[in-house]
Amino acid sequence: MMDVLYEKDLRPLKLHILESPRHRRTIREIGRRLGVEPGWLIRWAMAHFDMQLLENLPARFEQGLAHQGADDPLASAIGAELFTVYLPFFTTEEMNAALEQARERLGRGEGMEAVVKDTLRVLGRGFA
Amino acid sequence: MQRVKNAVRSRSIHVCVVDTGSCNGCDIEVLACLSPRYDIEQYGIYVHNNPREADVLLVIGAVTPQWEDKLIALWEKIPEPKAAIAVGNCPISGCVFNRHDSYVSAPASKFIPIAAEIPGCPPRPTEILSTILAIAPLAFKDFERERK
Amino acid sequence: MKRTVDVSFPVGPVHPCWKEPARVKCETRGEYVLRAEVELGYMKKGIERIMKGRPWQEVMFLAERVCGICSVVHNMVFIETMEKISGIAPAERAAYLRVVANELDRIQSHLLANFSYCYTIEHETLGMYLLDLREKVMDLLEKLTGARVNKAYMVPGGVRFDIGEETRHAILGSIPRIREETKRYRGMFSGGPMIGLRSKGVGILSREDAGRCHAVGPTARASGIAVDCRQRHPTYMKLGFSPVVRDEGDNFARVMVRFDEAIQSLSLVQQCLERLPEGPVLAGGICRAGETVHRGEAPRGELSYFVKTDEYGRIAEISIQTPSIMNIEAAAHYMMTGAVSLADVTSIFISADPCIACTER
């Protein structure tokens, strides 16, 4: 049996990265948007992101907010680009499926705000 | 034979630099030793950064959690005879980082035996150079004879 | 997350080309790099945690030790943040001296970065020339500030000590020679056919990708994004500053941007010293409570300090966003993806001028 050289449990180190005030604020803000407890988000991010991406999370979040396109109000309200390209929490397929559903509901005449909130809730359920 | 080995070992020193969590200042001062002004190679010191062929290990930085096991592993990879030199205040005392709530566990001598220490934040390239030159003949002298 | 790949090729943490420990795990198919992942934690010292609750007089020295290469700019941005919070205006002469120190620091940092790149692509001759030139710049820095690396030159309200007439002439006198040599090495780099083969078209970072990961500094400017915090800095505005931009986005462009910026910095230093106003170098003031964000341009790019202080000038909360965080991310996740050869991984990584000490603090 060969030992894997230099491999180590990185979870405590990843948690150290997420402990800085800026990261905490960013995670809280993302959690608020998705309706997810920050703890779940942190757990999911630690399992799926590498350390450099975790370090860069606040900068990417800011950049994503600054570059939200105005041409599709629904997509920018949900954060279609923000949560796929800038912060890879979801794959593009997942996001497109969610957007499709949201559009359908909008077509049925439901309120924009409620649709956006529900869509993000549904997306956020994947973390828990 | 021993005399020949002593002479050769004091003139051909292979160095491995390992940064265990410093501010980078000592790294670049070691790097500056390579420059033509200080010219580390004219004294027969080669910076390879390869522990398997090193004689001298330059330890920089106040040992961070990732290094606690790896520093020992690295030290074990270096063939005998070997010596470790602590460069800068960090591996000696932890410098400014050795405070409550930080992640470092200085000094480096907790993990590996340190043969020489160069204090300074950071030390000048000349100091690093003269320490390597001074320690090599002392640490490697009569290695085979004394091992018997 | 576990995935099955051809070969997961780890580079580092102790690597002959890298001066600092980091670990890049490249997932490969043959020689082709599919994606890369960075493993950090080798330099995590927890500086932000140490800073919390300490008076600014102590934090000033800690801020400098975030990074040893660009220590001047960490000092400068932290002090400017404190000044912004407390409403202190630096003395006129000191503002110019700060620029001199910062630009000299930028030159030595860029030369070091280019040395590292040349060393990585095994062009040691040019690397050694650059390192020798860097020593000359370090001499000027030492003359100005009294130390080589951790200088603590700036304090709220100004700088620690005035520049003597002799030092001023010494720095002014050596600038033409340094400029001459930088231009010569720039020509050697841009004209070298082998260097071109190893650098042109390697590690391309497109403008969109640079925007996505918020790349900053020479890395972003080599991809055609004209971001530079110096454009908004009052002293630089007086000097008529405009950023150097290229749009190839490859290794070659990044190194060339650094060469051009070094030459530009030399003329900034010259301008500052030529029109250095008379007067004191230290203005008075008291550090007060407040909260602010301040951004400055480090050699590697935009550096931001988020500081909250209490009424005694102690740091209640601090968060530092260093340029290397974004640039290493750009290198690992965008430039390396699709690199045709594993041999390019090290040179791509070095071309982004990574500073692990900055990244992890």
- Average pLDDT on A63-87 reads 75
More confident residue, C180 or C360: C180
Q: In the predicted model, is pLDDT for residue A6 greater than 70?
A: no
Sequence letter at residue B13: I
Domain span including residue A103: 11-127
Residues of C in contact with A19 (CB under 8 A): 49
List of residues 6+ apart from C271 with CB closer than 8 A: C239
Mark yes or no for CB contact C328/A16 under 8 Å: no
Mark yes or no for CB contact A55/C212 under 8 Å: no
Q: In the predicted model, is pLDDT for residue B74 greater than 80?
A: yes
Every domain of chain B and the residues it spans: 16-122
Q: What is the ipTM of this complex?
A: 0.86
Residues of B in contact with A15 (CB under 8 A): none
- Strand B83-87 to C315-321 pairing: unpaired
- Average pLDDT on C107-122 reads 88
Peptide bond into A12 cis (omega under 30): no
Helix (H) or strand (E) holding A78: helix A73-78
Q: In the predicted model, is pLDDT for residue C310 greater than 60?
A: yes
Report the number of distinct structural domains present in chain A.
Answer: 1
Per-residue pLDDT tens digits for B94-148: 888 888 888 888 788 888 888 888 888 888 888 888 888 888 878 777 777 777 6
Label each residue of chain B as H, E or C: CHHHHHHHHCCCEEEEEEECCCCCHHHHHHHHCCCCCCCHHHHCEEECCCHHHCCEEEEECCCCCCHHHHHHHHHHHCCCCCEEEEECHHHHHCHHHCCCCCCCCCCHHHCCCCCEEECCCCCCHHHHHHHHHHHHHHHHCCHHHHHC
Mark yes or no for CB contact A16/B103 under 8 Å: yes
pLDDT of residue A36: 80
pLDDT of residue A2: 47
Taking residue B105's Cβ as centre, other Cβ atoms within 10 Å add up to 18
Residue A3 lies in a domain: no
Counting one residue from chain B and one from chain C, the pairs whose CB atoms sit within 8 A come to 131
- Average pLDDT on C36-56 reads 84
Sequence letter at residue C256: M
Q: Which residues is C11 bridged to in the sheet?
A: C24
- Average pLDDT on B7-24 reads 84
How close, in Å, is residue A10 to chain C by CA atoms?
A: 8
pLDDT of residue A7: 67
- Average pLDDT on B49-71 reads 84
- Average pLDDT on B33-43 reads 86
Residues of B in contact with C148 (CB under 8 A): 29, 122, 124
More confident residue, A85 or C48: C48
3-state class of C163 per DSSP?
Answer: coil
pLDDT of residue C5: 59
In a mutagenesis test of the A interface, which of C1, C39, C43 is the best target, namely the one with the most A β-carbons within 10 Å? C39
More confident residue, A115 or C268: C268
Q: In the predicted model, is pLDDT for residue A4 greater than 70?
A: no
More confident residue, A15 or A115: A15
DSSP C158: E
Mark yes or no for CB contact C212/A85 under 8 Å: yes
A1 — pLDDT class (breaks 50, 70, 90): very low
Query: How many residues does the structure list for chain A?
Result: 128
- Average pLDDT on C318-341 reads 84
Residues C81, C87, C90, C95: is their CA dihedral positive or negative? Answer: positive
Mean pLDDT of chain C: 85
Per-residue pLDDT tens digits for A67-76: 776 677 777 7
In a mutagenesis test of the B interface, which of C15, C43, C135, C356 is the best target, namely the one with the most B β-carbons within 10 Å? C43
Every domain of chain C and the residues it spans: 56-323+350-360
Per-residue pLDDT tens digits for C187-215: 988 888 888 888 888 888 888 888 888 88
With respect to CATH, is domain C56-323+350-360 assigned 1.10.645.10?
yes
C1 — pLDDT class (breaks 50, 70, 90): very low
d(CA A123, CA A108): 21
**Range in B58-67, B73-82, C28-37, C320-329 with the lowest mean pLDDT:** C28-37
Residues of C in contact with B48 (CB under 8 A): 16
Residue with the two structure tokens 């000490």: C357
- Average pLDDT on C308-329 reads 86
- CATH, domain range B16-122: 3.40.50.12280
Per-residue pLDDT tens digits for A41-62: 888 888 888 888 888 888 888 8
- Strand B45-47 to B13-19 pairing: parallel
- Average pLDDT on B10-38 reads 85
Chain C residue with the nearest C-alpha to that of A15: C41
pLDDT of residue C278: 86
Q: In the predicted model, is pLDDT for residue C50 greater than 50?
A: yes
DSSP C1: -
Helix (H) or strand (E) holding C313: none
